[in-house]
């Protein structure tokens, strides 16, 4: 990282650890739990004709076959191993050749595909897809930081857009534009010990605040306070996965199920933090030249 200010090298390390958390969380999910591959591979309207053309079985036999389910589960686990590789590469990317960076980009596109599967599962609500913006975009940002020239001001803007998309789409669910997930309500009740009615009201207010801060981060005088709010709120929403779902009576089994739901959302706090650091560097140093490995 020769030629970079010390603060920027620290930012790169932060981006590396954000990517590590995203990839290791998805790796754990795919290796030990499940991923929505079946929402595509069991889509009768999309695949029935193709399956019956290439295979000597009916669609019913295909979807009910234990062998089919085994193949799908093996694909999920294979994807988990790929995410595990991406997690390791993320930590050492600044020391590796550019070819390894393309593995990280492939990981990003795999995360985009995963976001698509979750979106399909939610009847193609576009907000569902862009709620994962931080998760599938951060590896791309890391690749750019390490292997490409970029003007710092442009990079900060791109980071803000990614953060804003994530918070806006989260807010669309919180205010009820899309059906408010029962898990949101349950986490609010179990974490804050409030009634269901109060939980719905709090989520509506939180959704409005998501929209407000998503705008404020583009206003120079308001950007840092809004980003600090995002750091705190991102951390709290990630932590809620643990406080609402991990129980002392069966601590390890519930932690096994929910820890990766916490770590995969920590980047919702960490990327706004990275944006704060980048803005501080930009305003303090007026460092407007391009930076390059």
Instruction: State the average pLDDT for the chain.
Output: 93
User: Taking Cα atoms as reference points, which of 264, 214, 201, 207 lies closest to residue 238?
Assistant: 264
At 137, list the tokens. 């975009």
- How does pLDDT run across 172-207, given as a tens digit for each residue? 999 999 999 988 999 999 889 999 999 999 999 999
Q: List the domain boundaries for the chain.
A: 6-291
- How does pLDDT run across 78-128, given as a tens digit for each residue? 999 999 999 999 999 988 899 999 999 999 999 999 999 999 999 899 999
Query: What is the per-residue DSSP string for 48-81?
Result: HHHHHHHSSS-HHHHHH-HHHHHHHHHHHHHHHH
Rounded to an integer, what distance in angstroms lies between the CA atom of residue 7 and that of residue 212?
29
- pTM of the shown model: 0.92
Residues 6+ apart with CB under 8 A from 72: 37, 38, 41
Rounded to an integer, what distance in angstroms lies between the CA atom of residue 231 and that of residue 18?
13
Question: What is the reported pLDDT for 12?
Answer: 92
Confidence grade of residue 10 (pLDDT, cut at 50, 70, 90): confident
At 255, list the tokens. 């932690």
């Amino acid at each position: 990282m020769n030629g970079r200010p010390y603060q920027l090298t620290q930012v790169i390390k932060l981006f590396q650890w954000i990517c590590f958390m995203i990839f290791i969380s998805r790796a754990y999910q795919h290796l030990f739990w499940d991923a929505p591959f079946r929402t595509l591979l069991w889509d009768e309207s999309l695949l029935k004709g193709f399956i019956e053309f290439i295979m000597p079985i009916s669609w019913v036999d295909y979807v009910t076959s234990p062998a089919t389910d085994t193949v799908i589960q093996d694909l999920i686990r294979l994807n988990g191993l790929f995410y595990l590789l991406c997690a390791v590469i993320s930590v050492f990317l600044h020391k590796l050749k550019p070819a390894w960076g393309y593995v990280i980009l492939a990981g990003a596109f795999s995360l985009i595909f995963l976001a698509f599967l979750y979106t399909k599962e939610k009847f193609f609500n576009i907000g569902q897809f862009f709620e994962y913006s931080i998760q599938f975009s951060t590896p791309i940002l890391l690749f750019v930081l390490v292997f490409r020239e970029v003007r710092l001001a442009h990079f900060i803007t791109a980071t803000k857009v990614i953060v804003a998309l994530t918070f806006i789409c989260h807010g669309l669910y919180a205010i009820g534009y899309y059906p408010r997930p029962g898990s949101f309500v349950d986490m609010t009740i179990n974490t804050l010990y409030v009634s269901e009615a109060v939980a719905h009201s709090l989520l509506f207010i939180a959704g409005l605040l998501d929209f407000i801060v998503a705008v404020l981060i583009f206003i120079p005088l308001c950007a840092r306070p809004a980003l600090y709010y995002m750091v705190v709120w991102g951390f709290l929403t990630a932590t809620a996965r643990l406080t609402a779902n991990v129980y002392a009576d069966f601590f390890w089994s519930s932690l096994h199920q929910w820890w990766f739901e916490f770590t995969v959302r920590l980047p919702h706090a960490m990327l706004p933090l990275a944006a704060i650091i980048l803005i501080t560097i930009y305003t303090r140093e007026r460092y407007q030249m391009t930076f390059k490995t």
